[in-house]
Structures are given as C-alpha cells and as structure tokens.
Structure 1
Amino acid sequence: MARIPTSTYRLQLHAGFDFDHASAIADYLHDLGITHIYCSPYLQAAPGSMHGYDVVDHQKVNEELGGIEGHGRLRWRLGELGLGQILDIVPNHMALGPENRLWWDVLENGPASRFSTWFDINWHPDEAKLQNKVLVPILGDQYGKVLADRQIQVARRGAGFVVLYIKNEFPVAPRSLYGLLLRAGEYARSDTLSFIADSFARLPAPEATDRSVAVNRHRDKTVIYALLERLCAEDGNICRSIDQAVADMNNNIDALDDLLNQQNYRLAYWRTADQELGYRRFFDVNTLIGLRVEREHVFEETHGLILQWLREGALDGVRVDHPDGLRDPEGYFRRLREQAPDAWIIGEKILESGEWLRQEWPIHGTSGYDFLNVCNGLLAHGPGLEEMTTIYSDFTHEPVDFEDVAHEKKHHVTQEALGSDVNRLAALLVEICENNRDRRDTTRAEIRRVIREVASCFQVYRTYVATDRDTITDEDRYRFWQAINQAKRRRPDLDPGLFDFVGDVLTLKVRGFRENEFVMRFQQFTSPVMAKGVEDTAFYTYNRMIGLNEVGADPAHNGIGVEEFHNYCATMQQTHPQTMTTLSTHDTKRADDVRARLAVLTEIPARWRAALNRWSRMNTEFRGERYPDRNTEYFLYQTMIGAWPIDKKRLTAYMDKAMREAKQHTTWTNNNREYEDALHRFIERILEHQPFVNELEQMVERVREAGWMNSLTQTLLKYTAPGVPDLYQGGELWDYSLVDPDNRRPVDYDLRRSLLREVQSLSPEEMTERSEEGLPKLWLIHKLLWLRKDHPEWFGPTAAYTPLEVQGPKAAHIIAYLRNHSVITLAPRWRIKLGDSWAGTTVDVPEGRWKNVLTGEIEHGGRQKTASFLQRFPVALLVRE
C-alpha cells in the first residue's frame, strides 16, 4: 500500500547524476529527515536528455541513468533505508526522433501506421500539399535550395533505407522504393529483386487506415523486407546494384525530389512550423508531439511500467507533468486514480490569482506554485511595491499595466509561435460557421482574429469542459464569458456577434460533432498561450520587481496581508491538505533565496531608486550607442543583487536566456548580435569596474541579513503550513541559482553531509555566526523534517490550522498559527521596516508548557511578548510539552 509522504526531495536525474548517484546520497537524505525522494522522469528519454521530459519509450527505464539494473539498485537502497519514492511522469507528449519507434513507424507508414492513433496529428489540413502527410520543419533553408546543395540524401542501412539531412534520419515509405529497387533489379538482372520492387508497390496506400488493412499491410511489409534482406545476404551483387541505384538517385535532383514527395512526411524550412505544423506540440517545441492519452490503449501502453511500480510499492506516488495539455485532465486523473487508488497524485496545475484547484479532481493537490506565490506576496511590502512601480516607470519608461503587457505578449504568440494551432482551430470554426446560416458568411480571416483575441484575454490557463460527459461548471462559463467580453472591449472593430457565437459554442449552447471538437481543442490551446505569452515572455519584460515574476503569479499585485495568508492555508487544509508545498522547482525563474533577498528591496524603495540611478550614471561609459536599453539594465541590476556573488560566465549565460525570452531586442530564432554583443561587453566592463562592484556589494550587504530572515520565514511556513513540503536539490543551504540550466548545476553533497553532522552540536548563536555558510537554513530544515517524520499527525489531513491572535504596533510583522493544538509557528517579515524592536507586540499562546525546538527554551501559555521567542534565532517553532 502506498505511503503518503511527509516530505519530498526533488532530484534531477541525467547521465551525470544517475540512479547510482541518487543511491549514494540516500543515507544523507534519510539523516536530513526526508521521507521520499522525488525523481525527475526516468523512462527512456532522447539521447543526452538533462531533464527526462523528452520520453521516447515508455516501456524502458532510461539507459543513460543506469537502466533497469540501476533502477533496481536504487529501489533496494531506498527500501533498506525506509525511504519512499515519487516519480514525475509525462503523459502529454513524447519526443520525436529515430529512437521513438512509434514515431518512426508513423513517418514510414503515414495514417496506416499501427501507431498513428497515438499522436495528435491532423492528417487532413486545409493545405492540399499536406494531406496525409506530417510536416517536418527542420531544414535550414527553402527545400529546393537545400536539395540543390545536396544536403538531403538517401542511404541504405542493410536491407532498409533512410533519408539523411545533416544529423537527422528519416524512414523511407515502402511503396516509394518501387522505382529505386526496379532500377537496381535491372542493374543486377535479378527477377527476384524486381519482384520485391513490385511487392512494395502493391502494398495498400497509407491512406488505408482500416485496422485489419493496417495490420495486414504491416505483416506484408515485414515479409518483403525479410526477403530483401535474405537476397542481399545471399548475393553481394544485389547490394552493389542497390547502392548504384541509390547513388544515381542522389545525383539526380528530380528523381530524389520525386522520392521525397512520395513520403508520408514533408521536409520543410524550419520557419514553416509556426503556421503550418499539423500536430499538437508541447507549447511551441516542434520536437515534442502531443499524445492522445485519452485513448485507452495509449493510456495503458504509456503507463504500464508506472502502474506496475505503483502496484509493487516501488513508487508511492506520481507528479503529473502539464495536465493542462491533456484533452480531458479530469478524465485522465480519474482513470489514473482507478488504476492506483492509494497513490499520492499531484498535478502540475498552474493556478492564477483567485483560482483554486478543481475539487472534483481525484488528486491530492498541485505541485506547489500557488503556495510559492502566496509566500512571495507575503514577504513583499505593499507600499514599497507601489513606490517601485513609479521607480520602474520613471527609469525605463516601460508600461506598468501588467494586464495590458500580458495581453500584448499573448496576442503576439498566437500570431507567431502558435500560428499553426490558431489555423487548426480556425479550420474547425470555419466548418461550424458554414453549417450555421447566421454565420456562414464569416471569413476565415475574421475567425482567426477572434480566436486569437479570445485566447489572449483568458485570465487562467484553461477551462475544463468535457463534451463527452456533457459537463460544464459555472466557473467554466464565467471564465469563457469573462474572456469573450474583454475581447469585445479590446476589439470593437470585430463583429461582436461572432464573439458571442464563439461564446455559445464554448459554453455548449451550440452543439455538434465539430462544435465539441472545437471546445476541446480550444481548451488545450489557451494553456500554451498563457505559458508562452506570460511565463516565457511578459515575465522577462515587466521588471518592476522581478522576484514576483513566478509561474502563476500576478507581478502587478502589491503583496498580501497576514489574514489573506491564513485564509489561504485554511482553505488548503479544508480542500487539499496533502497538496505539495514548494519554494523552488526545476522550473522556477529564481531560487527561493534569490526571491527572499529581492523582497527586501520593497522595504527600501528609496534606497533602490538612488542606487539604480547612481549605478546607471556610473556605468554610462560602458553602454553602446543603442544597447543595452534601460529595461535590460534595470533587470540586470536586480538580478545581480538577488544572485550575488555571480561570475561573468553565469551572469552572461543567464542574461542571454532572459533577453531572448523577452523577445524585445533578440530572440532564440533571430539573435540580434549587435544587442547581445553590447550586453556582453556591458556585463564584462561593469564587473571589472571596482567602484560599481563596491556599491553593489554594499547594497547586497544592506539586504543580506533581511534576505536570510525572509528565507527562514518562508522555509518555516513551507514545512508547517497545510501540505507536503518539497525541497529542491541542494536547497537545504542558501541557493542563489537562477532559471535552468543554472539551477541544475552539480550539488556538493559531501559539504552538506559534513555540515549536517556539525550543526548537531552547535548553539543557535554559533549557527547564526556562520550564517554565510547556510547553517541556519540547514538546521531549521533538519529540525522541521524530523518533527514531521516523528509526528505526521500534527501536519496531516485532520490537523487543525488555527491563526493565533497578535496584538501591538508590529502585529503585521509576524505570522503566527497553531497546528493540531501541538505546534506553533512564529515567523517574522519585513525585518528592515521592523527595526530592532517589537514595540510591545504580543502573541496569544494557548495554555500549556511549550518548548522551542530551535533553541531548547521553555515557554508558557498566555499573552507573551513576541520578542521573547525570537531573541536567539530568527524564527520560532514551539511544541507542546
């Protein structure tokens, strides 16, 4: 029977940190107090994968991590230590490439492939040239030019054939081999080879998708290839003749073009993907194709190993990656729950401000971004944030209405990166309008504009209407009409009746087969629009306070109060008490300690303004004529404060990624070398400019201790608030990492082992003196983990969450609550604003005798001075004696 974790520790597995490396640190994690390791995906991924989300084979354990043997060793070691395991799984998509045998079969056999139903492919787009073909947008230039440059060739692989383009290989459709093998038969004067050529030609066309025809076609194809293989093995002249025919074809562009046009795929210039791609992707990543996991056979095949491990007890639970990409997330979770009734199931559901996880979903909760953002808002000082809005506007002259910024970025992404998705939706809606006499004269151009606008106005990642179950909630209706009405306000030039008609389709007032398909596909579309437009663009352009720019956050929000935090926790305890709580993940834009330090700037906005303007003047000589711009400079200085100390290599690599994501001056696909070179020179020069570095370090020194306190506060909250806390690898010490790949650098576990042994004998004062090493954070996490491990009932589903009354002039500076009548959390905020005095602020402690487990001091119930709990350590954790 599965064990619900009391804590998890996230490990990023790859060839450089495999199953044996994980086994080697398992004893350290046990000693730290962790109950479950939480692994990144480890089914067979594409070669060299650093994350595991690019699965190519669901039937295998990743060989680069140690394969099934290494996995077995890890299982044995975890069992020996009594540790459980949680696995990150990827039901939404697979990686493309020759390692994916299913995809290879689809490219070889087209719609008649045994696996064509696995993937979300549109075999019948509006473009006649792509009927029953898959667009493969990998060419570096126009097809004809690439062909003329001899960059595309055909090659023989034993008795098989492939199309080669640089390092890419693609299968050759069996029927298309007729001409090639017929010529080879003439060269070899072999009737048998000519017969094989004729046999390939007689195979059913790839458009013949009847199941029995497809099965027989595969059988016949296999037999014919076996005959060819045997013929080649018996007669060397056959192989030489085939090779001569291949060489002739490669030297004849027209013949090669004819063969390529007979394939079930179309090699194309990479830029065509944005508008003409015929399959659903993971966001805009062309190499990750959407799976039809809603189909029972696809679910069973892709989840076989995972479900086996859950039944065997090798896994206690799973974290489901990107459920919003699925056609029917609730239906998927119900099927998963039926197969794994006791498992701890967490969904990577991104909740926007004011949104809650659907209670009808049979899962334990989210992967914790909602908790992370609540902590972010709690530590930010509201009035300071308001002042920073003015500072940001004055310095950069950038827009400060985040809703408008986000809308613009989402709209842009629907026109560019996600244009092919818009076209697919538009084709459906055109057919719907054609069959509605009131809408039949609507043009395709109007339809595309309306789809883009409605998707850009969505305030959440998606809705969850299920047309096959005929279910739609009031929340779904509200979200649809909220977007429709906003779209009408933003685009008065478009027909409001068309917007209303789309709203009626989405809310199931207008029904039909095509209408249902439109609803389901539109819901899958809004999630990539939000992710690419906001997470991956707006969060790098709206830079008022970059520590607030996290997944699911509203960066324009001016913080939250203690009461709002308590309300959030009370709701979670009531609805999802075993959700995951986290502060850093493999996907966060900045590590928790970076955000904690940056939050301090909201307490000293005047100092930030002065430093910003002074540094900009100081570094004027290092700027080029045009670059870097003021917004980049503003972003850079905040980054340096948050991540300091940081060297030139790390900082430059991060800024390259951040600015390409921002897409204001450079992008991943169109590098602006003038801008990037100027930015590199600027970074190099300011890091060498000692007067600036001295001032930067003075600012960091000013906010450092307050940042440490913020870190300890949010850490204490994570481990005592409702939920199951997750610790990202290495985060038990201060972590000033930035977005991946920066946050995936190797972790020094030898250092952590040594420090964990050392803190056992240190006093709170001695640990505080060594704060630079991260000892206070390590000590706090260690004590909290073991407290949860020893007393899981104090933090479980039935453990009450009770805010404690705080009185006095500094009451807003303390978060105080009681869990299960047994544990008290006291966590301060806004240290600089607080000063050195609690000024008579008190906390009402329940009656009884209480021990501070961080200092060993005994406290008593009643109205107590807040200061008495925080004299020896920045936060307090009291346990009833």
Structure 2
Amino acid sequence: MPSSTYRVQVRPTFDLDATASLVTYLHRLGVGAVYTSPLLAAAPGSTHGYDVVDPTRANPELGGESARRGLVTAAREHGLGLVVDLVPNHMSVEVPAANPWWWDVLTHGPESAFAGYFDIDWSRGPILLPVLGDEGALELRDDRLAYYEHEFPITPGTGDGTPAEVHERQHYRLVHWRRGNAELTYRRFFDITSLAAVRVEDPAVFDATHAEVLRWVRAGEVDGLRIDHPDGLADPGGYFARLRDAADCWLVVEKILAPGEELPASWPVHGTTGYDALRQVCGVFVDPSGEPALTELAAAPDFAVEEARSRRMITDRSLVAELRRIAALAPDVPEDAVAELMVAFPVYRSYLPEGLAHWTAAVDTARARRPDLADALTRLDRAVRDDPDGELATRVQQTSGMVVAKGDEDTAFYRYPRLTALNEVGGDPTRFGVTPAEFHAGAAAREAGWPAGMTALSTHDTKRSEDVRARLAVLAEVPHEFAAAVRRWSARHPLGEPTLELLAWQSLVGAWPITADRLAAYLDKAAKEAKLRTSWVDHDEPFEAAVAAWPAEVMADTTTRADLEAFVARVAGPGWSNALGQKLLHLTGPGVPDVYQGTELFDLSLVDPDNRRPVDFAARDALLTRLEDGWLPETVDDTGAVKLHVVRTALRLRRDRPDLFTGYRPLRADGPAADHALAFARSGVVAVATRLPVTLSRTGWRDTVLALPPGRWTDHLTRRPVPPVVPLADLLDRYPVALLVGEP
C-alpha cells in the first residue's frame, strides 16, 4: 500500500521516458508511488490509453518494453512504487488492423480462435460494423475491403468479384453509422461502437488479457492496479476474486458509489478510486444557505425530473441495441418495461444477490411510475431473481450502469447548472453541500472500513478540476451578487440556450483566466453532452458556430470583461482558501490520497481533454527547490506556491511518518465562528481548515478557539509551536489551513 500516489497521463507526447524523468521530482515532493494511465498497446495516436488494442505488450508509442523497464528502474532507485491503470472491460476496434484479435474475428467469424473473446451475438448473423456515411463506395485495396481510411480483412477464398460481392461473403457487414445504436450485434463500452466489450468472465480470456500485466506484478515491477469500469463486467465479484488470486498487490476499483451506497463487502479489493471521498471533501466547503438564490437563478426543473428525462433519452436513442438484447432474453417483457427499469435505478448497478435492496428499489420505482407496465416488470423481476447469475440478470446489471452514467454524468449534469461544483462524478446535485457531521462520518467510515482505499479530488474523468470547484463553491456564499452579475452579462451576451449560458458564465468565473479557444472547446463539448440544441450525433451547425464565437466576443467586450474580472477578484481569494482547505483534508484524511498531475499547484482545468494539457513541471520544480531551501510563501496568491507547500508537507509526512496517520477523531472548535473551522486528529497530526471564508470575513474568528489533544504541537506549515488551546485567529493568521504534528 503506497503512502500516496501521483497520477501521470502518459501519452505519446509525454511518454514513459518523460515519466521516468519526473521520478526525482516526485520523490522530493513526497509521493509514495507513480500512478500511470494504461500502459498496454493502444489505438494509434491514443492520448489516454483506454483504447487497448493488444494487451500482450507495452505500448510502443509510449516507448515500449524498454521504456517501461526504465520507469520501473527509476522508481525503484528513489523508493517509489508503481501503480498501473488496467482496462479489463473492452478493447478498441476503431482501427481493426491494429487489434490482432479483432482482425482475426472479422476474418474467420465464429471459427476464429478469438471469437469467444468478445461479447458478440452470433445468433444474429455477421457482425454489424456501423462505419458507412452518406457518400463514398466500398473498394478493394491491397487484399482488403476499404471505405475511405477504414480497412477490413477478407476471408481467404472470398476475394473475387466486385467490392459489393466480396462484402456479402464476409463475417461482418458494413452499415451506415446511424444504425449502430439500435442494431449493434456486440456489446460495447457505453455508446462507443469503437470499443468492443471483452468476456473476461471466461478464464481463458482473463488469462490472455491479463498475462502481461500480471507478469509485471509477479516480477515485483508493479505494486498496485487501478481497475477501470468494473460495472461493465459480467461478474465483478468473480473477476476481483480471480485477480486477487493472481495478483498480490494493492487493488483499487473505479466504482462510483451513490451517497449512502457501500462497496460490496465480498470484493477482495482495498477500496474505490475515491469519488465518494471527493464528494464529501468538496461538498463541506459549500454554503447551504446559497441554495434558494442559485435555484431561482437556474430556473431549472427539479433534478430528479431532468435525471429521468435524460436517462430516457439514453434508453430511447443511444442504447437501444442493449435494451433489445435484454428484451430478447425475456420474450414476455416489452422493451419499454426494460427501459423503465433502467431509468429507475437508485445506484449505477445492483450486484445480485448482494445488491438486492437496490434492485428492489428500482423495480418498485418503475412500477410506481408506469402502472401499465407493472405486470411486465413483475415478470422481469421474477426472471432476474430466479437466476441471478443467468444471462438476463447479467445483461440487466451491465446495462443499468451504462444508462445511469450516460444519463446522469454525460447529460443531466450538463443540463442542471444550479451550482456546477456539485455536478461531479460520484456527486449528487440535489444535495446542496455536505455538513461537517456528514463529512466526519464519511471519514470515520473510511478509516474503519476501507483505510487503504484511494481518495481523490481531481482525476482524468472529473468534470472540472478541484480548484475550479473550490472557486465555484464561493458562489454559494455570494449567490445574490452572482445572480445580479449573470443577469448583467447575459443581457449583453446571450447564448441562445439558457442552461448552457449559465454553465458558460460559471465556467468563465471558475477557470478565469482562460483563453477563448479553451472555453470554446469546452462549451462545444458541454452543448453536445447536454443534447438540448445540438449533440454529437445530430448537429445544429448555426448554434454550434454561435457557441464557438461566444467566448471571443465576451472577452473582446471591455465592459463585460472588466465586470467579469472584478467579480473573479471578489471570489478568487476565498476560492484559494477553499482549495487549500480541501487539499489539506484530502491529503491528511483516511485513505491513500492521489494527486492528479499538476494539481500540486493551483490548476484551473475543465473536463477532458482540457485536463490533459501539458504540465509545466519546470516551474513546479523551481518552486519546490525554494521550499526545500526553507522559503515560506508569504501569501495565498495565483502562483499556487502555498498549495505546493501544503502538498509537499503533507505527502512527506505521510511517507516518512506513517505512524502519524492512523485513527480518526473529529475536533470541534468553540466560539462564535466555530462552524467556520473543520478539524480532525489522526494518531499524530491535526488538520485544520477554514470553511465559508466570505461569511467569516464579515466577523472574523473573534475569540473562537480549538482545543488540541494532549501533547506538544507544532504547525509544520508555519513552523510555529501551538498552545494546547489555540485561538484560531492566531493559528490561521498566515494561511487558512494548519497542519499540526504532535510530539510525545
């Protein structure tokens, strides 16, 4: 178990050699383990690695096996572990020739040695490949069937005749791309037809897909695995049992838990990748009193209404093929009953029989919403519960997570801009913040049940970075000011779609300063994800052009820009305070904290690919050198030096003094501003953070104090001794956070 991890997005422009060159810096920072994006061979030009094409070798575009070994050597020389991201659910088939298994399946069909590796419905005939457009024709090219840049194999002995005649003899059919969502004959990752699902529930497929990574683990070269998207697997619990038998290492899973949901106790893993902790840590800095004004500004329907509407859009448009495949397994159940059940899930997925309560809740909700389908839902309920390991139950469970993720994260979250700091992976936009009591309860539960699970604030999948969310949380403290500002700005620069417009203003405030090009790219994605005026499939080109032009127009308007900058100046300081507070709580609380690349300084990134922009490590290295020389940053400012100071101090303590970070005990301040302090004690450290700094600035700490556990305490951020009962005005006079270390 590492003391902490540091996530690096390894890609062709920042490959394994570049990652190895970071190791010295990461060691100085205090990191326990380098944590990389997937390292297996991926689709040509992949910038993220989740589109694996060959799991039997390290990615040659990242430097291949020799560069991978070089990273291992560098990490070991500095005492760092290595944690690797692993994708067991799917493989990329976008470029068939790049994936030798898929190429063989297309060549030989059901007779291929790899036919059982992919989740293909062979009963429906040739594999349907939705790649054709409205123009162009098939052609024969170098013993391959080709359509523009797309090339496909020809079964031996079937290559004579016209392209159309050759096509009819193959084990696949090339069809118009729009037919994929309704007619696809293989399971995919969400609604992405270029990612074909893999049947790792088959021991032979498990062995073939995991052999190389497990070789790294058994050689002592990999200390931990992060498992991507377990909800897509046929039997997640069985998969983890098999993986645990094969890999004696740290295992964390990308499982998104709804508030109140727990990881299945039977899974032999160390915990999740930390979205549950993220919701609690970020939410405790949101002022619940701001809810009415921001709700009025958004003028949006109740989130539950938007959520159900968005999920139904996914079942009706994007995942029709998956629902039809389920309905085919239950002939007496209509597709709309299956869809209604998918929409009703209170969590991403039930795990039968462990998740029976969630399953029952979904069935009951669906029955209540559609009494006319009650009998069909009862039949579906009975069929699933009678055979919880059967194909029907398996496919229902695999698909519910797809509907919830696509409906909530990738649709409803973009349609509900009341306070976008709450619209995060694993979040619940209906819960306006997290109380200190709920925060402490969550932290104590992690310490008791999952002390070795990962915790996170920013990931490659978060909708916006931790520091953007920290600044946006301030809007809940100044809701009326923000509402008035938005009305002024929108009067000058309407965007044509109110939901996107409010999201755009929040994005500008949260990520300022941001270039027009970055904001335009983000708004283009947000508009298409929301699927209100345009989408990835059905484009409204005039609207998209207006959205693309909007950021530059706003920034060119000197009046609006000056007004915007003045408002940002109002919230930036409190935002930095929130950012430091949530970072300290994250790094010192229960679990294994992960630092996403670059976030050791203030980082104002939006959703991918914005959060995969190059990181200026030279600037970070220079600031780290100054800190090592004894420099204490004077103020909290845009350089982020104070954040680096907090990160370095906490990570080095976790690595060098793990004995300080056991147990968990909430601490309560006393005095008129007690609610503005959030503090807890571990076995040898006390963390103190400031909450709701705008409201606090109106009165100050006054005579609020914090009583510490017995012992002698020193604030390692300011290097000052701290008395047993310390006035918070004194403790937090320099920084809005304190990290106290006790001495016997």
TM-score (norm 2): 0.98
CA distance in 2, matches of 1:770, 1:814: 18
Which protein has the larger Cα radius of gyration, Structure 1 or Structure 2? 1
Residues 520 and 549, structure 2, Cα contact 8 Å, conserved in 1: no
Q: Of residues 259, 265, 290 in structure 1, which corresponds to 2:197? A: 290
Q: Measure how far apart 1:511 and its partner are.
A: 4.1
Q: Which moved more, 1:108-117 or 1:494-503?
A: 494-503
What corresponds to 1:523 in structure 2?
A: 397
Residue 56 of structure 1 pairs with residue 53 of structure 2:
yes
TM alignment of 1:133-148, pairs within 5 A: 133-141=126-134
**Cα offsets for 1:546-590 (capped at 9, x unmatched):** 111101111121211111111001111111001111110011110
Deviation at 1:72, TM superposition (A): 1.6
Find the partner of 2:350 among 463, 468, 479: 463
One-letter amino acid of the counterpart of residue 877, structure 1: L
Separation in 1 of the partners of 2:18 and 2:174? Answer: 41
| Structure 1 equivalent of residue 694 of structure 2 | 832
| Aligned residue number for residue 183 of structure 1 | none
Q: 1:486 maps to what in 2?
A: 365
Matched with 1:273 is: 180
1:673 to 533, 537, 541: 541
1:406 aligns with 2:311: no
- 1:84 counterpart residue number: 81
Q: 1:166 aligns with which of 148, 152, 162?
A: 148
What is the deviation of 1:804?
A: 1.5
Q: Is the 8 A contact 2:120 2:187 kept in 1?
A: yes
Q: Which amino acid aligns with 1:521?
A: R
Structure 1 residue matching 2:476: 3-state secondary structure: helix
Are residue 301 (structure 1) and residue 208 (structure 2) matched?
yes
- Within the candidate set 720, 729, 738, 1:867 is matched to 729
Partner of 1:547: 421
Corresponding residue number in structure 2 for 1:115: 114
**Deviation (angstroms), 1:806:** 2.2
Counterpart of 1:222 in structure 2 is none
1:848 Cα deviation from its structure 2 partner: 1.6
- Range with greater deviation from structure 2 (575-584 or 679-688): 679-688
Q: Give the drift of 1:600.
A: 0.2
CA distance in 2, matches of 1:404, 1:281: 28
Equivalence for 1:684: 552
8 Å Cα contact 1:578/1:724 also seen in 2: yes
Post-superposition shift, 1:640? 0.2
CA distance in 2, matches of 1:746, 1:165: 35
Aligned length, in residue pairs = 740
CA positional deviation for 1:376: 2.2
Pair 1:11-2:8 in alignment: yes
Task: Give the 3-state SS of the residue equivalent to 1:536 in structure 2.
Answer: helix
Tell me, yes or no, if structure 1 residue 388 matches structure 2 residue 294.
Answer: yes
Q: Aligned-pair distance for 1:24?
A: 1.2
The reply to whether residue 500 of structure 1 matches residue 374 of structure 2 is no
Residue aligning to 1:216: none
Contact 1:713/1:875 (<8 A) preserved: yes
Conservation of the 8 A alpha-carbon contact between 2:635 and 2:734: no
SS state of the match for residue 115, structure 1? coil
- SS class of match (2:85): strand
Residue by residue over 1:706-734, the C-alpha shift from the partner in whole angstroms, topping out at 9 and shown as x without a partner, is 00010000000111110011011111111
Q: Is 1:422 matched with 2:422?
A: no
Unaligned runs of at least 5 residues, structure 1: 126-130, 181-248, 251-255, 434-441, 466-471
**Per the alignment, in what secondary structure is the counterpart of residue 109 of structure 1?**
helix
How far apart, CA to CA, are the structure 2 residues paired with 1:71 and 1:857?
44
Match in the other structure for 1:755: 623
SS at match of 2:260: coil
- 2:474 maps to which of 592, 596, 600: 600
Matched to 2:138, the amino acid is I
Q: Give the secondary-structure state (helix, strand or coil) at the position aligned to 2:458.
A: coil
Letter in 1 for 2:275: Y
Q: Given the alignment of the two structures, is residue 452 of structure 1 paired with residue 339 of structure 2, yes or no? A: yes
Which digits, 9 at most, give the CA deviation of each residue in 1:215-243, with x for residues without a partner? xxxxxxxxxxxxxxxxxxxxxxxxxxxxx
Q: Deviations over 1:257-313 (max 9, x none)?
A: 232111100010000001100111010110100000011111111111111111111
SS at match of 1:53: coil
1:615 aligns with 2:489: yes
**Corresponding residue of 1:880:** 742
Tell me which moved more, 649-658 or 673-682.
673-682
Measure, in 1, the Cα distance between the counterparts of 2:702 and 2:636: 28
- Whole-angstrom CA distance in 1 between matches of 2:702 and 2:533: 50
Measure how far apart 1:751 and its partner are. 0.8
Report the Cα distance in structure 1 between the residues aligned to 2:23 and 2:373, rounded to whole angstroms: 62
Mapped partners of 1:289, 1:496: distance in 2 = 34
Contact kept, 8 Å, 1:386 with 1:558, in 2: the verdict is no
Q: CA deviation at 1:701?
A: 0.4
Partners of 1:550 and 1:479 in 2: CA distance:
22
Quote the Cα distance in structure 2 between the aligned partners of 1:576 and 1:505.
34
Picking from 496, 509, 516, the partner of 1:628 is 496
1:495 deviates by 3.0
> For 1:194-593, what aligned pairs fall within 5 Å after superposition?
249-250=161-162, 256-341=163-248, 343-393=249-299, 398-399=300-301, 401-430=302-331, 433=332, 447-465=334-352, 472-473=353-354, 476-492=355-371, 494-506=372-384, 508=385, 510-511=386-387, 516-593=390-467
Q: Which residue of 2 aligns with 1:233?
A: none
Please list the CA deviations of residues 839-865 of structure 1 after superposition, one character each: whole Å capped at 9, or x if unmatched.
32222211221111111111232x432
TM superposition shift of 1:92: 0.3
1:797-876 pair list within 5 angstroms: 799-820=662-683, 822-835=684-697, 837-861=700-724, 863-876=725-738
| Among 42, 45, 50, the residue aligned to 2:42 | 45
User: Residue in 2 aligned with 1:153?
Assistant: 139
What one-letter code is carried by the residue in structure 2 that aligns with 1:9? Y
* Matches of 1:501 and 1:69, distance apart in 2: 56
Distance 1:634 1:658, change over 3 A: same
Instruction: For residue 762 of structure 1, report the CA deviation from its aligned partner.
Output: 5.4
RMSD: 1.4
Identity of aligned residues (%): 42
So what's the TM-score if we normalise by structure 1? 0.83
Aligned counterpart, 1:225: none
Q: How much has 1:680 moved relative to structure 2?
A: 2.6
Change (3 A) 1:462 1:847: same
How far apart are the structure 2 equivalents of 1:257 and 1:564? 63
Structure 1 contact 848–860 (Cα < 8 Å) conserved = no
Q: What CA distance in whole angstroms lies between the structure 1 residues aligned with 2:516 and 2:346?
A: 38
Offset of 1:491 from its aligned partner? Answer: 1.8
Q: Deviations over 1:310-342 (max 9, x none)?
A: 11111001000001110011111111111112x
Shift of 1:421: 0.3
Report the Cα offset of residue 463 of structure 1. Answer: 1.0
Higher mean C-alpha displacement, 702-711 vs 808-817: 808-817
Residue 497 of structure 2 aligns with an amino acid whose one-letter code is: D
Partner Cα separation in structure 2 for residue 373 and residue 517 of structure 1: 34
Aligned residue for 2:238, secondary structure, equals: helix
Provide the secondary structure at the position in 1 that maps to 2:318.
coil
Residue 761 of structure 1 deviates from its aligned partner by: 4.1
In the alignment, residue 140 of structure 2 is paired with which amino acid? Answer: V
3-state secondary structure, aligned to 2:7: strand
Q: What displacement does 1:685 show?
A: 1.5
8 A Cα contact 2:447 2:664, kept in partner: yes
Opposite residue 296 of structure 1, the aligned amino acid is P
Q: Distance in 2 between matches of 1:388 and 1:349?
A: 30
Aligned mates of 1:66, 1:88 — CA distance in 2: 17
Q: Distance in 1 between matches of 2:401 and 2:348?
A: 5
